[in-house]
Amino acid sequence: MSNISQRNNTSNQLTTDYDLSKVFLLNNRYEQDVLLENPGYGSQTILMGTVLGRIASSQNVIPCISGALDGSQFPIGVLAQDVVLSQGQTQSIAMCVDGDVNAGKLIFYGGDSLATVIAGRSMQDHLKAYGILIRYSTEMTDYDN
């Protein structure tokens, strides 16, 4: 997903930044018709790149939070598109389950990160076990490069 922002806009000069970096980089495989659940109150927007975990009892997925105790504390995939869910709604989505993913575009809930440890392994290690390889890249599109 790209972002465009204007840093400087005067009568003589316009400076615009373009972010063309992607969440999903290479050889990605997606699982379709995964049920994403909104267990919270009110509507919720869940953004592409959100790390997901599966609730053991319902088999639905929700944003992965390391403090959960329902099975969703273990990361199993990455949300493939933005989703808006109403309170209590469940919606069919696509989830990346394999391939290269940009580390800088991953979204974690609850203050977690790739280094957060769950059951003796980091989130990054859990994702790697599923086949999701985290890639760190430097974006070389700034005006001084």
CA–CA separation, 26 vs 110, rounded Å? 28
| Class for the domain spanning 29-135 | mainly beta
Helix (H, G, I), strand (E, B) or coil at 67: coil
Task: Summarize pLDDT for 53-66 with one digit per residue, the tens.
Answer: 999 999 999 999 99
Q: Determine the pLDDT at residue 145.
A: 44
What are the percentages of helix, strand and coil residues in the chain, rounded to 5? 5, 45, 45
Per-residue tokens: 114: 């790739």
CA–CA separation, 3 vs 14, rounded Å? 16
Where exactly are the structural domains of the chain? 29-135
Per-residue tokens: 136: 């760190």
CA–CA separation, 82 vs 29, rounded Å? 17
CA–CA separation, 145 vs 41, rounded Å? 46
Per-residue tokens: 90: 């469940």
Per-residue tokens: 111: 């203050």
* Spans of the chain, pLDDT less than 50: 1, 145
